Chains A and B, each alone.
Chain A
């Protein structure tokens, strides 16, 4: 079984290799890449499902030449959820790529994209199944660097290069923090395995490990102040790479946080509280930033920040539960966090793939240039709607199930009899409610602007449904969203195994705490009602002839134009205004005067606040400081020789 997982890693890593020797503009290379990813999927799914269903742990151990490293594979239920998620999104994106980035249309970078796409997936599979931290770091770096190469596929565009550069700086900084984390772990325990809980660790070392891990993994996950690389990278990558990055790559940070949280032998309430607070900040600000965006992919990227916040809330509840010795909180928190991680992988990948169809067929990602796409793209529109409902956490889809678990966990924190702790739980629950409401507003805006109304540009009018290769993965992802949403009672044993893998507690089964069955029934009823109303309305529409040739929401105007519609920016205006303190909106002041006003132009722009207003100015200062060292390098040969001489004298004096 463990060997099968290694076969999956190798197959994914080599998926792009045959293409290197095949014709650049032929389809053999892309077909072989998909076939190998499919092989990896089959080989990886078997052990993952076996672990999830049986609750056992797969281990494989082999010595390794690398210093401190060992080829130590350990697949428990938590790892298995991540493995499953990586494989599903990787295969879906790979198939989608056949239509979206075919070799025939992109002979110049298609092979490179496929090579690094597969390697990114392989790196992730390796790191989530690694038990040794050195092996983990190897997988981590393979993932991080391959993702850089994949996301900069179109490196002829300056903005893509810039996004890649920011991503690279962020991932380097994160890896540095991880090195420090694992070194501290080694100092505390004396080994390089993920097994801290057995040893006695001093509180100082535990705090250092927690903070460093939060920094390193938070940078990858995109927790709010550390999300600076995320929007640019997600917006500028090819769509299926965005789906892979947003769906699973950023979750590797979550995986690391879950592992570290599970390992800390003496979790404290303060650590859990920090996770909760960071989760609320990330969630609320993520969605507020999302509302301010004009680029559909950038908007989805900010929703990733938001969902990472929700996952972090769940993890915070679990951590608090361990600190307080409340098995119920542990179970609800970790089950919610891990399930939401998986769910977010599914519906975010679905949303990105649907947004990719929109961008591919209309050649624009700007919300204010899209519109009326539900008529030419009925299937994509419906699938986007499924993803949107799921991401807003509404029943009967999967987002609801996982958010419900987090909610129940937060209510559990309120119930804990300890002074002031109820405030934290209430803060988290209120934050989660705010996040859900704002997310709903944001997706009403997106769906309304993109799919309803009238086309706002040439491209929208000519849009058409894509090939079957691009539709199939979206349909499968949407089916998974429905499946988890309606089949949630079946998940209980799996989630129990996850909880046991996180912290072996004698908690009663989750079923006792969560009325999964009634919620699943409610979902079925909801769906049935929806179908009935839809059918009834359709019958009605057929009997009373609706006027054709009139635009949607024409409102009785004699000569309406597409530009008279509500735009996405106007829809979000009020909410953006409320979040102005964080958004730092840049608007051109526009005043319309007089009866026959002159034409005026208006534009608004939401900057990357952390990146543009904090990190970049700081980095510029730093560059100015280091430029002082340039004086030493004057280009004068005599001066260089003098440096050599001076060094020699200093060394000589030092030695003697």
Chain B
């Protein structure tokens, strides 16, 4: 395992805070995309020995997370929204505070888990948990549908980090499967965004309360 892994994981943690504090939707999208690209390269570093399998996974991850999805989201943003603020339910400072508490708890929690020897002391598991928590925080506190999609991407990234630890044990089909899942999820959300926008002339999901029973 390369010495570069932990610093890159720290970058991912920092990006989490960036995402929680970002007020513009563009920033949220590019932040999650940046996390995706870093994850792609992390695969290279975690896995010793460069084979066609690693190359395939890295290429697909970088392309999907770093290029395709952000491009789609940015285009959706251009076409649908005139106001490009995140408009969170709770303030940015509160978000950051909650994120910090969550990250701290995740680190404490990860220490209590019994891990394989090569992962003890590594940041992989705490980062994974903290990223998942950040993703959930974004999902639950953001009003705009696009910001929620970004939150979903972050959540997915967190799961992917966990996958890094299991890279040797898990066949590559699983990673491709996760990516397919992700892609389908984004696709569905894209359709939902389109419909919300057409129906309410806005992407504010709080207007969906009109649809309840």
Chain A residues proximal to chain B, CB less than 8 Å: 633-639, 641-642, 645, 648, 656
A interface footprint on B180-210 (CB within 8 Å = 1, 0 otherwise): 0000000000000000000000000110111
Which residue of A633, A634, A635, A642 has the most chain B CB atoms within 10 A of its CB atom?
A635
Query: Are the CB atoms of A638 and B209 closer together than 8 Å?
Result: no
A635 in complex: contacting residue of B112, B113, B211, CB < 8 Å = B211
A interface footprint on B108-128 (CB within 8 Å = 1, 0 otherwise): 000011000000000000000
Interface residues of B in 92-140 (CB under 8 A from A): 112-113, 136, 139-140
B140 in complex: contacting residue of A633, A634, A635, A638, CB < 8 Å = A638
Chain B residues, CB < 8 A from A636: 205-206, 208-209
Query: Are the CB atoms of B136 and A641 closer together than 8 Å?
Result: yes
How many Å lie between the Cα of A404 and that of B1 in the bound state? 97
The answer to the question of B141 belonging to the interface, with a C-beta cut-off of 8 Å to chain A, is yes
How many Å lie between the Cα of A637 and that of B140 in the bound state? 8
B208 in complex: contacting residue of A637, A648, A656, CB < 8 Å = A637
Of chain B, the residue at the smallest CB distance from A630 is B213
Chain B residues, CB < 8 A from A656: 112-113
Given contacts A641-B140, A645-B136, contact A635 B89 (CB under 8 A): no
Query: Are the CB atoms of B212 and A638 closer together than 8 Å?
Result: no
Chain A residues, CB < 8 A from B142: 638
19 extra interface residue pairs, beta carbon distance < 8 Å, beyond A635-B209, A635-B212, A656-B113: A633-B212, A634-B209, A635-B210, A635-B211, A636-B205, A637-B148, A637-B206, A637-B208, A638-B141, A638-B142, A638-B143, A638-B205, A639-B140, A641-B148, A642-B140, A645-B136, A645-B139, A648-B136, A656-B112
How many Å lie between the Cα of A641 and that of B137 in the bound state? 9
How many Å lie between the Cα of A549 and that of B89 in the bound state? 88
How many Å lie between the Cα of A509 and that of B140 in the bound state? 80
How many Å lie between the Cα of A377 and that of B208 in the bound state? 65
Chain B residues, CB < 8 A from A641: 136, 139-140, 148
How many Å lie between the Cα of A648 and that of B89 in the bound state? 21
A633 in complex: contacting residue of B89, B143, B213, CB < 8 Å = B213
Chain B residues, CB < 8 A from A638: 89, 139-143, 205-206
How many Å lie between the Cα of A635 and that of B89 in the bound state? 15
- Closest approach, in angstroms, between the C-beta of B102 and any C-beta of chain A? 10
**What 10 pairs between A and B have smallest CB-CB spacing?**
A635-B212, A635-B209, A642-B140, A637-B205, A645-B136, A641-B139, A641-B140, A638-B140, A637-B208, A636-B209
Query: Are the CB atoms of A634 and B212 closer together than 8 Å?
Result: yes
Chain A residues, CB < 8 A from B213: 633
How many Å lie between the Cα of A430 and that of B113 in the bound state? 78
How many Å lie between the Cα of A638 and that of B205 in the bound state? 8
- Closest approach, in angstroms, between the C-beta of B153 and any C-beta of chain A? 14
- Closest approach, in angstroms, between the C-beta of B172 and any C-beta of chain A? 27
How many Å lie between the Cα of A635 and that of B200 in the bound state? 15
How many Å lie between the Cα of A637 and that of B189 in the bound state? 13
- Closest approach, in angstroms, between the C-beta of A32 and any C-beta of chain B? 45
Chain B residues, CB < 8 A from A633: 212-213
**18 pairs of residues in contact across A and B, judged by CB atoms under 8 Å:** A633-B212, A633-B213, A635-B209, A635-B210, A636-B206, A636-B208, A636-B209, A637-B148, A637-B208, A638-B89, A638-B139, A638-B140, A638-B141, A638-B142, A638-B206, A641-B140, A648-B136, A656-B112
Of chain A, the residue at the smallest CB distance from B208 is A637
- Closest approach, in angstroms, between the C-beta of A95 and any C-beta of chain B? 48
How many Å lie between the Cα of A636 and that of B136 in the bound state? 15
Which residue of A633, A642, A648 has the most chain B CB atoms within 10 A of its CB atom?
A642
A interface footprint on B142-182 (CB within 8 Å = 1, 0 otherwise): 11000010000000000000000000000000000000000
How many Å lie between the Cα of A633 and that of B142 in the bound state? 18
Query: Are the CB atoms of B139 and A635 closer together than 8 Å?
Result: no
Chain B residues, CB < 8 A from A642: 140
Of chain B, the residue at the smallest CB distance from A636 is B209
Of chain A, the residue at the smallest CB distance from B209 is A635
How many Å lie between the Cα of A633 and that of B209 in the bound state? 9
Chain A residues, CB < 8 A from B205: 636-638
How many Å lie between the Cα of A635 and that of B207 in the bound state? 9
Chain A residues, CB < 8 A from B206: 636-638
A interface footprint on B75-94 (CB within 8 Å = 1, 0 otherwise): 00000000000000100000
Which residue of A633, A637, A642 has the most chain B CB atoms within 10 A of its CB atom?
A637
- Closest approach, in angstroms, between the C-beta of A335 and any C-beta of chain B? 56
How many Å lie between the Cα of A636 and that of B89 in the bound state? 11
Of chain A, the residue at the smallest CB distance from B141 is A638
- Closest approach, in angstroms, between the C-beta of B167 and any C-beta of chain A? 23
Chain A residues, CB < 8 A from B141: 638
How many Å lie between the Cα of A636 and that of B141 in the bound state? 11
Chain A residues, CB < 8 A from B208: 635-637
- Closest approach, in angstroms, between the C-beta of B160 and any C-beta of chain A? 17
Which residue of B140, B142, B143, B205 has the most chain A CB atoms within 10 A of its CB atom?
B140
How many Å lie between the Cα of A638 and that of B207 in the bound state? 11
How many Å lie between the Cα of A638 and that of B90 in the bound state? 11
- Closest approach, in angstroms, between the C-beta of A504 and any C-beta of chain B? 59
